[in-house]
Structure 1
């Protein structure tokens, strides 16, 4: 980021199966829209097909930068349903009492 004259600090990283979200806290005096303007340059430097900038992340003062993973993982529908059901079981049990 400093290559492009924008200062900030990565405060959190959220890896996912397809994309990774980097939370960047802009330095004092850096405008959020500077990150949006640099999306294409970031994609080129990161050798990514695209970069999505969330400026700012709703409810936070940080900027989100989503970069596609080089090797995306497959997420199967069955695993999503099973994890959702495991979260709902305690609630369903209480409702049946």
Structure 2
């Protein structure tokens, strides 16, 4: 049940990351929180399978922090590729 706490925290921080990164209009509002939650779930589960208990701080730091960092990087990559794609399409259309 503790995984739910990690997922809620990662999702909430993912929402904050979405609003902190520039060019919000170029990506969906749920993309970064969804990535943060998915990464947190995977990291939390893998660390639990390796034998790390819920009372270990590294479990929480790695799952929540890893989810936030990976989602921020993914958001940056998605935004930059979308910006580049839009610029190429505008140049091809002569806009």
**TM-score normalised by the chain length of structure 1:** 0.28
Structure richer in strand, relative to its length:
1
Larger RCO, structure (CA 8 Å, separation 6 or more)? 2
* Larger-Rg structure: 1
Structure richer in helix, relative to its length:
2
